[in-house]
Each structure stands twice: as structure tokens, then as C-alpha cells.
Amino acid sequence: MASPTGPAAGDAPSPSAVLTAADVTRVVDRMAHQLIEKAGDSLADLVLVGIPTRGAPLARRLAARVAAFSGTSVDVGTVDITLYRDDLRLRGVRALEDTVLPEGGIDGRLVVLVDDVLYSGRSVRAALDALRDVGRPRAVQLAVLVDRGHRELPIRADYVGKNLPTRRGQSVKVHLDEVDGVDEVLITEVGS
Amino acid sequence: MKRHLLEAADLDRADATLVLDTAAQIDAALAGREVKKLPTLRGRTVVNLFFEDSTRTRISFELAAKRLSADVINFSAKGSSVSKGESLKDTALTLEAMGSDAIVVRHQASGAPHRLATWVRGSVVNAGDGTHEHPTQALLDAYTIRHRLGRLEGVRVAVVGDVLHSRVARSNVRLLHTLGAEVTLVAPPTLLPVGVGSWPAEVSYDLDAVLPKADVVMMLRVQAERMNASYFPSAREYSRRYGLDGRRMGALGDDAIVMHPGPMNRGMEIAAEVADSVRSTIVEQVGNGVSVRMAVLYLLLGGNT
């Protein structure tokens, strides 16, 4: 699992780690720098909104790193998108997760949605709908730890931790310490 | 979750907790929002089929369905002269043919929602049937207790009044027991049902003895429309022995709360000063009813049907 090169996605049935804990830390640091660079003067306006489950701790980490690098503290929130999903009929209902927004709301601010994996784009669409109901941000951007392709909607991330070419038969799993007790990104074969 | 919600026993502990947690999340997500609407049940149709008068339950269900973007049809059967059994089945089949996804039913006959559930493919939610059950009321009561006291496990709940005719009491005893609370029924012997000994609850005839130990006092409405026999000598005597007035409220513990499912008879089972006190959760219960019913509709209808 701690293979130094990080094996490419092969045909092996066992999960292979494409990012190790050290890689995840480096990638988050880089994304934090990119956020600071791109936000420029509007850094104080920035709100990092995580999409549960794993987007939420990811947003908190990014905020902590942005604060450490820039000295500016950044607001963090989470927005649960379950009630906005278009696949509830296909996949069934599930328990809801927290929705927490900063005190002053998101009106007029620069919101960056944060998620672990960008795949079909449907989660992001649902998150955009949810945001529209809670306020009117000045702009909305998207940050993801892994972009694995196969978009079904015209959605593109502004900040990408790692581009990961995959097949549809593969599954990309992001594990984060806060949720899973370990930091890593795995690819598994599910289709075969 | 089962497909229907007909009685409190349809919910095991995990299901009941899921409903309460979901309601809490919906509450939190909608708090302070300008747009209090979610797109979750877009394109679904919910029929409110009410054979009995109701203000808060019908409006509460209607609001819950609308906040989830479902289409709502209110069918009030009051004044209908068709015989009961037939009309219910015919009505059900008609609604089914028009594509209803859920039927929320209130009926004066105990068991009517169970019959209804055998005729339709969609979900049936019992909004009160005769003297049988009113499960969503029990859910919103449990939600209110958990919200105020922070827990349900081990909470001592006194349910006071006309237990015999009360579907609220029946559902609450079952659900609160499922969730780990300890229920004591307090009523004159004439207003306790036969077989109450088999319920998962203690029974007492003495309100004053129960109050100091109670974390929650749930007052039941004296149902004048069902008082067709001499259940107690006079309203005044009932009020003196089983009514909650200011003096009795003084016997409660510091954090104890007073609940009432509504509509209240002020001065009868509950004094105005109690109903309007800070211990009273009566208005809160109404508000919580909408969130809890949203949770129920989401969990029953949101997924694969």
C-alpha cells in the first residue's frame, strides 16, 4: 500500500493506492496555495463549503492550510445535498448529513464548493441547487481532490488535486483521517 | 422503513431514530432560510384524505408535502353520505387511478388506514384513526422531548387524561417505549382501556404522586365528542383531580416540560397559566410537526417506490 511510486490503475483485483497519506497532504497544500493565488484580494470573502461526507473535512483542512499560508482565516461550511439529488428514486433514500453555513450567510461572497471525487458532476449540480436556495454568492467555484472523468453534465473543477484517468468499471475511494482513520486514495475494480 | 406508516409499532428503534434525526437535519438545513422549500419530492403526489375534522394535522401534512415540492390534493370527506366501507375503497381506487404516490388518511374508524393499505400500491400514512393510533403525533412528541431534554432514554413521561379514547396516548406509549423512555399513564379507572396492563407502561390513578418524578407531563384532551357515557361525575371534579393547574405545576422538577397535542380545553385538563408558561412546549410541538412529517414523507416516498 505504501509503494513509493504509487502503482498505476492496473487490472489487479485488489485496491491500489494512487495517493498515500503524504501525497494527500502535499496535494491539499498545493490546492490551498492555488486558492490564495486565485482569490487574490477577495480572500477574506472566501467561503469553503464542503459536500458531505468527505468534502466537509476536506474543506476544513483547506481552510486551515489557507489560514496557515496566508494569515487570513477563511469561513467554512457544509451543505448536505441529499434532498437535492436526482437519483433518490434509483438509489433510495439515505440519512441526511449536516448543513452548516457561516453566520453571515453566503450572499455576495466567493463560495468554493469542496468535494472528494468529481465523477458524473451530479453531486455538484445538486450542490449548486442547494446553494441557490440558501443565498446568492458573488461567484461559485469548485475544488476536488480527485477528478476521475466521465462527466455527464457540463461541469468543470477550478481546483483539482489529481487528475485520475479511470474506466467506468473502476471505483475511486478517497479515505480521510477524520472519517476513515487514514489518508489515502484507492482505485478498485468493481465491474469484473 | 416499511412502505406504510400505520402505527407506532411499524417503527423499530433504528427507524424511529432515523425519522427524528432526519427531522433535525431538515430543521437545521431550513433554519433562517428565505426559501423554505426543497425539491426532493418533485413530481410526487400526496393526497390528504380526511374523513374527520382536523386543523393542525391536515395543515401540517400539507405544508410538509409542499415544502418537499410534492403536489398536494386535499380531499375532505366531511358530509359524504356514502356508506363507510364502500366509500373508502372506492375513494382509494379512484385516487390510485389518478396516480397518487401517498395517501395521508384520517378516519373515525379504527383500522381504516390498515384496510386502505391493502388496496393501494402507494404509501399510506395514518394521520389518526378512531381511538387507535396517531403515529406522526407520537413522532413529533418524541422529537420535542429529545429537543428540549436532549435525550429519550430513561426519560420519565406521564401521560395524563382520557387514555381510553386517545390515539395519541396509544401511539406515544408504543413509540416512547421503543425509544427507551418510561411511560406512566395517569387517569381515572373509567378512562383506561381494558387490557392496559399489557401495555409497556405503568398505571396510576394519582396525578399528585406522579408529578414530582416526571420529566415530561403530557396532558390529553378531554374528548367531549366521545364522552357519551358517565366516565367521570362532572367536568369540575375531573379538572380538580386530573387537571394541570399552577399549583400542580409547582410540584414538577426544574427542567420538566408540559406537553399537549392540541386542541386544548383551557381550564379543563390544563390551566391557561400552565399552557402559556415557559415549561409548555405546545406551540413548539406544532412547529416540530412539520419537520417530522417532512422526514416521514421523505423516507417513505423519496426512494424507490
Q: What is the pLDDT of residues B68-103, one digit of tens each?
A: 999 999 888 765 545 555 678 888 888 888 889 999
Closest CA to B28 of A83, A116, A55: A83
d(CA A47, CA A102): 8
> Would you call B56 a catalytic residue per the annotation?
yes
CATH (domain of B290): 3.40.50.1370
Interface list for chain B against chain A, based on CB atoms closer than 8 Å: 18, 21-22, 25-26, 28-29, 33, 35, 37-40, 68, 298-299, 302-305
DSSP output for B53-98: --SHHHHHHHHHHHHTT-EEEEEE-TT--S-HHHHHHHHHHHHHHT
- Assess whether B57 and B106 both reside in one domain: yes
> Residue A4 — very low, low, confident or very high, per pLDDT cuts 50/70/90?
very low
Contacts of B67 in chain A (CB under 8 A): none
- Assess whether B33 and B76 both reside in one domain: yes
Residue B1 falls inside a structural domain: no
d(CA B125, CA B122): 10
- Best residue of A96, A103, A132 to probe chain B, by most B CBs closer than 10 Å: A96
Q: Which residue reads 380526511 in cell numbers?
A: B50
Cell numbers for A89: 428514486
Q: A22-164 maps to which CATH number?
A: 3.40.50.2020
Residue B82 falls inside a structural domain: yes
> Would you call B106 a catalytic residue per the annotation?
yes
Output the tens digit of pLDDT for each of chain B's 305 residues. Answer: 899 999 999 999 999 999 999 999 999 999 888 889 999 999 999 999 998 888 899 999 999 999 999 999 988 876 554 555 567 888 888 888 888 999 999 999 999 999 999 999 999 999 999 999 999 999 999 999 999 999 999 999 999 999 999 999 999 999 999 999 999 999 999 999 999 999 999 999 999 999 999 999 999 999 877 776 678 888 889 999 999 999 999 999 999 999 999 999 999 999 999 999 999 999 999 999 999 999 999 999 988 65
Set B3, B17, B40, B56: catalytic member:
B56
**How many domains does chain B divide into?**
2
d(CA B230, CA B58): 31
- Assess whether B248 and B207 both reside in one domain: yes
Quick check: A102 pLDDT over 80? yes
* Contact: B39, A89; criterion CB under 8 Å: no
- Assess whether B87 and B142 both reside in one domain: no
d(CA A76, CA A61): 10
Task: With 0.80 as the threshold, say if the pTM is over it.
Answer: yes
Q: Which of B35, B299, B305 sits opposite A133 (nearest CB)?
A: B35
How close, in Å, is residue A83 to chain B by CA atoms?
Answer: 5
Whether residue B57 contacts residue B128, with contact meaning beta carbons closer than 8 Å, is answered with yes
Residue B269 falls inside a structural domain: yes
Identify the sign of the CA torsion B12, B18, B19, B21: positive
Predicted confidence at residue B81, as pLDDT, reads 45
d(CA A124, CA A142): 8
d(CA B177, CA B171): 10
Domain of residue B103: give its range: 8-133+286-301
- Assess whether B223 and B296 both reside in one domain: no
Q: Binding residue per annotation — B247? A: no
Any long-range contacts for B79-86 (C-beta under 8 Å, 24+ apart)?
Answer: B80/B51, B84/B109, B85/B115
Length of chain B in terms of residues written: 305
- Assess whether B114 and B140 both reside in one domain: no
- Assess whether B117 and B25 both reside in one domain: yes
Closest CA to B172 of B225, B218, B209: B218
Contacts of B29 in chain A (CB under 8 A): 80, 83, 96, 99
What average pLDDT does the structure give for chain B?
93
Listed by number, the residues of chain A in 67-86 with a beta carbon closer than 8 Å to a beta carbon of chain B are: 80, 83-84
Delimit the domains of chain A by residue range. 22-164
- Assess whether B129 and B12 both reside in one domain: yes
Q: Which of B22, B33, B299 sits opposite A133 (nearest CB)?
A: B33
Helices (H), chain B: 13-30, 56-67, 84-97, 112-119, 135-149, 167-178, 207-210, 235-242, 246-249, 272-275, 282-301
DSSP state of A91: H
Q: Nearest 5 degrees, angle CA B36-CA A78-CA A58?
A: 165
